[in-house]
């Protein structure tokens, strides 16, 4: 009895293990043995702009399978397939006559018409799998942002990767019962239907995106630059309206032979690369100084062309100096000496406290892969001379997106926003499954301080270096930036980052536009000449597209011939330019003019900017 009882428990335990513990996996294995399955690919969700225009979608194609054991006549099957697909009969016959193979893949990427023609031919033993092929409606448009998918249809880069779980769906199967050698038993087919992916609706407006795309491609060509980048964001909410980058490539024809090169091309500079912001950073120094009350608009400063800090002489961009000027004029003139003085008054501790509040010490949180953060000196290691340089945009490296978010806070009333690209996730019927809402990270400066910052930056566009970003009849504020690049810890001769960040309207900012040209070639590398005009073009087109009416009086332009300033002393040339009422940029530190732009004899107007190249000391 003990032996029988022991054997009973052994058998019972084994049955419990097989039927309960391993039951589902064994059933799956059995199902796999007596069925043959044809994959049914889920349709990947579409990517749409904010107006519902398709940016990325899918084409459906079909794969043809033949099961030789289920085919009554391989000759008839080969003949029908070769006729429909216009393929060689002998090759098809050879392929489907293989022995010991239960299922053969005959052809891929068939059209729906080809599939229907084969079905109508009446041949047996053929099956079709649905394949999904990703396509991008505009090819090289939004390439770095949208990203791409791999051969299996899974996102590998950009938004395709970030939102892959929503977009990809769940594949299904078509199941047929077969015997040991793969011959159909009942003729009945079971379906495990595929669940299509959800659609991703972006904050991107494809029309404004076109404006940005055209601008970056024009800048790349005009200045033979390394790259050109543009971001348009809603300053109040953080919604990204456009994000363009050149050079780009066609997402529909990706060269995958060199993976490292491919992923290098896919870098979205606005969030993955850091740069010295140059004078665009003066917006933040201005906001911090005003917020702390360490400066007044009418307070006067003196610029002699340089300032000595910790025993080191740091030059202003205008080597001959700006002379006596108010703080408001110092912002308009982008005077480095003024901002060095502000940095000293602010102090390192308070400076870094505001960097934290403005979001410069962390990632912005934008919903896209690859975002990096700033490179800041350790606060304990920052000397007074370092703080002075940081005050005018040197000795600090941040991403363009960090600069945009911080600038938005400086001009939108003081609120730090989180940039975002996903407006909503919807199903095939258009019903919203998920919705994004603006995320407020708190207030960094007061509305009154922000209003003052906006007013000062309006003067930069109407009277200063940002003139070429202006649009007649509209109030626009902004700041130019021209930063030197470094290689191996040293200044790289002749390599600059030229940028402009602007917003409109000054009274109630909605759009903020950042434009950057990396390493423009030639002597016209200033942000005022390289980047600002493109921001003006983009704003002009946005105003027209959104039917925003002008609110300011249009100042009549006067045209005249540019005089010849070559070989004049720097002082005489500057006096001549000031007499003409033109904004002046200087390159070089010498006392004599060796080149000028615009050239002598060109027709210019009172809104033009003059660049004088001076001899070296």
CA–CA dist 159, 200 (Å, integer): 9
Beta strand 583-587 pairing with 490-504: unpaired
* CB atoms inside a 10 Å sphere around CB 492: 12
DSSP strands (E only) in 227-295: 227-234, 240-246
Nearest to 208 by CA among 510, 507, 410, 426: 510
Under 8 Å between Cβ of 458 and 469:
no
Under 8 Å between Cβ of 525 and 464:
no
Backbone angles phi, psi at 267, to 5 degrees: -60, 125
> Of these residues, 46, 279, 465, 498, which one is catalytic?
279
CA contacts within 13 A on the Cβ side of 47: 31
Which residues touch 141 (CB under 8 Å, ≥6 apart)? 55, 209, 210, 213, 248
CA–CA dist 417, 235 (Å, integer): 8
Under 8 Å between Cβ of 537 and 288:
no
Q: What ranges in 521-606 are assigned the alpha helix state H?
A: 527-530, 532-545, 570-580
Go through 573-609 and write b for each residue having 16 or more CB atoms within 10 A of its CB, e for each that does not. bbebbeeeebbbbbbbbeeebeebbeeeeeebeebbb
Active site residue 291: no
CA–CA dist 201, 122 (Å, integer): 43
Measure Cα distances from 60 to 41, 129, 169, 189, 225 in Å.
Answer: 9, 10, 15, 22, 40
CA–CA dist 398, 60 (Å, integer): 43
- 10 Å CB burial of residue 217 (0-12, 13-18, 19+) is middle
CA–CA dist 530, 520 (Å, integer): 8
Under 8 Å between Cβ of 268 and 399:
no
Beta strand 47-48 pairing with 199-202: parallel
* CB atoms inside a 10 Å sphere around CB 412: 23
The catalytic site residues sit at 279
């Amino acid at each position: 009895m003990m032996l029988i009882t022991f054997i009973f428990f052994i058998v019972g335990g084994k049955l419990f293990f097989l039927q309960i513990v391993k039951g589902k996996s064994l059933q799956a294995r059995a199902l796999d043995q007596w069925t043959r399955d044809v994959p049914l690919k889920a349709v990947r969700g579409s990517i749409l702009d904010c107006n519902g225009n398709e940016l990325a979608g899918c084409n459906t194609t079909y794969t043809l399978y033949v099961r030789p054991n289920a085919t009554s006549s391989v000759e008839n099957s080969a003949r029908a397939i070769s006729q429909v697909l216009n393929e060689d009969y002998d090759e098809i016959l050879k392929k489907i006559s293989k022995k010991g193979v239960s299922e053969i893949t005959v052809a891929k990427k068939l059209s729906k018409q080809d599939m229907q023609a084969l079905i109508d031919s009446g041949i047996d033993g053929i099956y079709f799998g649905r394949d999904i092929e990703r396509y991008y409606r505009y090819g090289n448009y939004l390439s770095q942002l949208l990203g791409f998918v791999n051969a299996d249809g899974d996102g590998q880069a950009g938004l395709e990767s970030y939102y892959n779980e929503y977009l990809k769906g769940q594949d299904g199967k078509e199941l047929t019962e077969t015997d040991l050698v793969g011959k159909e038993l009942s003729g009945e087919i079971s379906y495990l239907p595929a669940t299509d992916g959800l659609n991703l609706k972006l904050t991107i407006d494809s029309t404004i995106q076109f404006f940005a795309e055209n601008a970056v491609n024009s800048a790349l060509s005009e200045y033979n630059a390394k790259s050109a980048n543009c971001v348009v964001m809603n300053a109040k909410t953080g919604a990204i309206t456009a994000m363009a980058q050149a050079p780009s490539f066609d997402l529909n024809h990706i060269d995958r032979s060199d993976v490292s090169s491919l992923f290098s091309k896919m870098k979205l500079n606005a969030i993955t690369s850091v740069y010295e912001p140059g004078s665009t950073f003066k917006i933040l120094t201005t906001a911090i100084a005003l917020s702390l009350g360490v400066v007044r608009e009418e307070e006067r400063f003196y610029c002699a062309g340089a300032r000595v800090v910790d025993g080191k002489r740091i030059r202003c961009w205008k080597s001959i100096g700006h002379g006596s000027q108010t703080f408001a004029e110092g912002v308009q003139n982008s005077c480095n000496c003024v901002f060095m003085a502000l940095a000293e008054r602010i102090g390192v501790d308070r400076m870094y406290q505001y960097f934290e509040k403005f979001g410069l010490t962390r990632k912005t949180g934008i919903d896209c892969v690859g975002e990096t953060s700033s490179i800041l000196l350790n606060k304990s290691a920052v000397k007074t001379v370092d703080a002075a340089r940081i005050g005018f945009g040197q000795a600090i490296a941040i991403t363009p997106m960090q600069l945009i978010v911080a600038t938005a806070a400086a001009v939108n009333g003081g609120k730090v926003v989180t940039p975002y690209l996903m407006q909503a996730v919807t199903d095939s019927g258009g019903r919203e499954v998920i919705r994004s809402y603006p995320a407020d990270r708190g207030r960094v400066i007061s509305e009154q301080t922000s209003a003052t910052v906006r007013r000062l930056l309006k003067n930069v566009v109407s009277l200063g270096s940002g003139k070429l970003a202006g649009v007649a009849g509209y109030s626009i504020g902004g700041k130019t930036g021209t930063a030197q690049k470094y290689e191996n810890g040293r200044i790289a001769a002749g390599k600059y980052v030229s940028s402009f960040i602007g917003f409109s309207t000054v009274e109630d900012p909605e759009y903020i536009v950042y434009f950057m040209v990396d390493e423009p070639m030639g002597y016209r590398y200033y942000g005022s000449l390289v980047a600002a005009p493109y921001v003006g073009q983009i704003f002009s087109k946005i105003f027209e597209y959104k039917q925003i009416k002008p609110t300011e009086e249009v100042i009549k332009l006067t045209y005249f011939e540019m005089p010849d300033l070559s070989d004049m002393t720097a002082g005489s040339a500057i006096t001549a330019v000031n007499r003409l009422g033109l904004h002046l940029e200087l390159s070089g530190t010498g006392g004599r003019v060796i080149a000028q732009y615009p050239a002598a004899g060109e027709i210019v107007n009172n809104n033009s900017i003059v660049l004088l190249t001076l001899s070296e000391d």
